[in-house]
Structure 1
Amino acid sequence: MTPPKADVAGQAACAANASAVLSYAKPAVIKKRTDFLRAAKAKRVPCPAFLVQACPRGDEATFRVGFTCSKKVGNAVIRNRAKRRLREIARMVMARHGRVGWDYVLVGRPDATVSRDFSAMCDDLERALKKLHGPAR
């Protein structure tokens, strides 16, 4: 098995779009199973490489993000690679498009999460968040 080729141009394009953000702060991470289950019952937006689940919560301090990849995605190495990619696009995109007081869960898809172009994944997440929240206020 050969490792996937690095998409340097795509990462640069995604980073250029995120240049408006002064710092890439890590979003708060969802860790409790109940929070994942609550997000699973709420709004969903499918993307080619992942699924976005989102639900509002009462806490208005920040937004939280959770990541999950089942064994259908692949072995442990592939699942971890997929989750690293999901964490990175969340770090780059959520700072600008995430809403305070919401929980988001990014679910990896077999083959697609690891092999899809990185800049395309960033664009997919932006589109999904715009679809979830409607037009900007």
Structure 2
Amino acid sequence: MHKRLRLRNRADFSRVYRYGKSQANYQFVVYGLRRKDVEQFRVGVSCSKKIGNAVVRNRMRRMIKEIIRHHEAEIVENMDLIFIVRKGAVSMSYKEMEKSLLHVLRKASLLKAEKRSK
């Protein structure tokens, strides 16, 4: 994932937590905040120490960023997103995690409307 698509500083995270809307499933929580000053979406990932040691937490972050990179075209623009990893995601395979992540994005209405063919 490109550096320009990442949320990094504490002020950005705090703003999204305070003013953003959230949706959750058993594996992830997603916070989304619409922003006019960003051209694309930006993503931050948060993993608590309850999830596991640093190796496990970094693996979760890498997998989420890779899933987001693959589905970049489907996610709505002008948004700041934060994904919080829950304990249930640790034992999931990549495909299961991808399905769960897309589910929570769909639930939060953060995926672009799909064009239906006739």
Normalising by structure 2, what TM-score? Answer: 0.80
The reply on whether 1:130 has 2:109 as its aligned counterpart is no
Distance 1:75 1:28 in 2: 26
The CA distance in 2 between the partners of 1:40 and 1:64, in whole Å, is 14
Moved over 3 A (4+): none
Distance 2:104 2:27 in 1: 12
Identity over aligned pairs, percent: 33
Which residue of structure 2 lines up, in the alignment, with residue 37 of structure 1? Answer: 14
> Which stretches in structure 2 are left out of the alignment for 5+ residues?
none
- Give the 5 Å matches for 1:87-98: 87-93=65-71, 95-98=72-75
Structure 2 partner of 1:86: 64
For 2:50 and 2:22, how far apart are their aligned partners in 1?
Answer: 20
Shift of 1:104: 0.7
TM-superposed CA distance for 1:113, in Å, is: 2.3
1:114 aligns with 90
Unaligned segments of structure 1, at least 5 residues: 1-24
CA-based RMSD = 2.1
Q: Structure 2: how far apart are the matches of 1:82 and 1:131?
A: 21
- The question of whether the paired residues in 2 share the 8 Å contact of 1:97 and 1:129 is answered with no
